Structure 1
Amino acid sequence: MSRPDRSTRAMHQALPPALRDAVDDFAEHLSRVRNRSTHTVRAYVTDLVSLLDHAVRMGCVDLADLDLSVLRSWLARQRTTGAARTSLARRAASARAFSAWAHRAGLLAVDVGAALASPRAHRELPGVLRADQAAALVEAPARRATPTTDPPQAHQEHTDPAPTDAAGAPTETAVPLRDRVLLELLYATGVRVSEACGLDVADVDHGRRVIRVLGKGGRERSVPYGVPAQRALDDWLRRGRPALMGAHSGDALLLGARGGRLNPTTARQIVGAYAEAAGLPRTSPHGLRHSAATHLLEGGADLRAVQELLGHSSLASTQIYTHVSVERLRAAYRQAHPRA
């Protein structure tokens, strides 16, 4: 079973053996058959353990006792304890997925979750930088007089000595070069921060100016990038990466300050720190992804092409960016039109 938090593990151990085995088998199915990420499996397991713990409290001693009334009671209890609509929608989806799997596996005579309704999640429009703000952010590392310092990363990186340049002095340019290529790639390609940090040197096709990205569900796609990102990559690979390379670098494209693969948490902190230093709205790597998608659509890109670039499995996930563009258009109209 994926490693959820301590309280969930305690509830899991307290379940009757048959229910505990069902949780473990479902987690195995998600991981090996559905190829879900560790984070996704952990979320499903957490929801499922909570559901089955509630079922036991209602008198269910076997999976066959699970019915629609138990599922509804569980969601109602979640709502009374303050769960947000988005959380309720996700938990209902977890219950439906488990019920469908259990029915196919012969553990439930009826797919009791098929009739489970859930509140429609309210989808917030993502925050989007203007094109000039995004440009200011990605160019910020080149304007900084002093390099950034990384927060603590994985344990193995602390075992390496501090990197030095050819003259033996601590590197003063490698980290800003790394920050610059990180920001350029996030905005130029719209990739997820985990995808950017997972890139290897061989994933960059300099001739065609595309990167090979391994996305959610193990789906691979090629994403193009522009000339500014190419310049940042050239500088990083020529002058930055060699200065930071260490025993734990491997084939990673982006490195932490102590030589290991750049951690997504560190990457988020880098983006946030540069945005704050530049006086921009609070921004994250996902905010740059939103901005890239919105600017592509505003520039006339086809919605299907943006879907492919972002790695969305459903066009519905991409369509939210059309609403962002409409909101920006409305804001400009209200500000500028005399009869708005």
Structure 2
Amino acid sequence: MAHPADVVATYLDHLDVERGMSVHTLTNYRRDLDRYLEHLERIGRTDLAEVTAPDVGTFLVALRTGEDGHRPLATASASRAVVAVRGLHRFALAEQEVTQDVAADVHPPAPPRKLPKALDVDTVTRLLEAPSTEDPRGVRDRALLELLYSTGARISEVVGLDVDDVDAEQRTVVLTGKGGKQRLVPVGRPALAALDAYRVRSRPGFAVRGRGTPALFLNARGARLSRQSAWNVLRETAEFAGITAEISPHTLRHSFATHLLDGGADLRVVQELLGHASVTTTQIYTMVTVDRLREVYATSHPRARAGRAG
């Protein structure tokens, strides 16, 4: 008979002595496995060989819901507890205390999928119109932000552009994405107008201070604008425009994708424009638009809310 508490004690000794696990991690494992022992005692499992895969599964549920009287654990903590339990059963099998590893197919909970933050169209417009067109930096910053939103490009892709990568006549830009993969993306007229203003009125003044770089976007020293500097442009412009929504380096990229899908664009087309290798990556934006659809439905449909008169 393999009493669960005895196997846990032996397993922890193994982790401490033979595996050299840190004191901090060992303390966490001990806490997680003590909770697991309570779970097994509560369901009447006095022999580890009697434990079934559903028993381990209900423990995972209890970790997240607190049904066992303990506080519910966050995803990362619950994942660690599942790893500890899986290690225990794997160890018990190796030590021939049990004849099968019932925890082998019980996986840690997946982390919650964080939805991209997208600004609404009015807020994007406010952001794009915030830079002053009276000074060279403002002209550059407006062109930068317009191009980010018009193409859905990553900041690194835009600061990596050279002057010749933009074809104003064809209204396209060649973006170089991850792994050096290039894609041709259309550019809207407002972005082209902002780029034209920058190239005529602003870039030459920056360029004379540098060493003749072909980079499209230049800093005050005439060198290629860095990714961090471009991110600062976005953040500072949002602050100047009074935008309180969370801003990230991908804010305009996320807004680009969400607004296209809201407007009826095909998911595969958006995938190509964003340069995603798999459509699965692009599908996360459909979750954003579904939330938007729910919001519009809830506020617009006469019978969307309970208690409304028929």
Amino acid at match of 1:276: E
**Closer/same/farther in 2, CA of residues 300 and 243 from structure 1, 3 Å limit:** same
In 2, the alpha carbon distance for the partners of 1:244 and 1:273 equals 20
In structure 2, the residue matched to 1:140 is 130
Amino acid at match of 1:228: P
Q: Which one of the candidate residues 7, 14, 19 is aligned to 1:58?
A: 19
Amino acid at match of 2:240: A
Amino acid at match of 1:183: L
Q: CA offset at residue 279 of structure 1? A: 1.7
Q: Which one of the candidate residues 240, 245, 250 is aligned to 2:202?
A: 240
In structure 2, the residue matched to 1:270 is 233
Aligned residues with identical type, % of pairs? 48
Q: Tell me the C-alpha RMSD between the 2 structures.
A: 3.3
8 A Cα contact 2:147 2:191, kept in partner:
yes
Amino acid at match of 2:186: P
In structure 2, the residue matched to 1:328 is 292
Q: CA offset at residue 136 of structure 1? A: 1.2
Whose Rg is larger? 2
- SS class of match (2:131): helix
**What are structure 1's unaligned runs of at least 5 residues?**
1-53, 61-72, 93-114, 144-171
Q: Deviations over 1:216-239 (max 9, x none)?
A: 011111111110001011111111
In 1, the alpha carbon distance for the partners of 2:219 and 2:278 equals 34
- SS class of match (1:120): coil
In structure 1, the residue matched to 2:222 is 259
For 1:292-331, list aligned pairs within 5 A: 292-331=256-295
- SS class of match (1:140): coil
1:290 aligns with 2:254: yes
In structure 1, the residue matched to 2:144 is 182
Q: CA offset at residue 128 of structure 1? A: 1.1
- SS class of match (2:250): helix
Q: What TM-score, normalized to structure 1?
A: 0.58
In 2, the alpha carbon distance for the partners of 1:83 and 1:329 equals 29
Q: Deviations over 1:65-91 (max 9, x none)?
A: xxxxxxxx99x87xx9x99749x89xx
In structure 2, the residue matched to 1:35 is none
In structure 2, the residue matched to 1:45 is none
For 1:92-131, list aligned pairs within 5 A: 119-131=109-121
8 A Cα contact 2:75 2:109, kept in partner:
no
- SS class of match (2:296): helix
Q: Which one of the candidate residues 178, 182, 185 is aligned to 1:216?
A: 178
Amino acid at match of 1:244: F
In 2, the alpha carbon distance for the partners of 1:188 and 1:219 equals 20
Q: CA offset at residue 259 of structure 1? A: 1.5
Amino acid at match of 2:120: R
8 A Cα contact 2:155 2:227, kept in partner:
yes
Q: CA offset at residue 336 of structure 1? A: 3.7
Q: CA offset at residue 135 of structure 1? A: 1.2
**Closer/same/farther in 2, CA of residues 117 and 84 from structure 1, 3 Å limit:** closer
Q: What TM-score, normalized to structure 2?
A: 0.63
- SS class of match (1:212): strand
8 A Cα contact 1:190 1:292, kept in partner:
yes
**What are structure 2's unaligned runs of at least 5 residues?**
1-14, 33-72, 84-104, 306-310
In 2, the alpha carbon distance for the partners of 1:249 and 1:262 equals 14
Q: CA offset at residue 248 of structure 1? A: 4.2
The size of the alignment, in residue pairs, is: 220
8 A Cα contact 1:249 1:261, kept in partner:
no
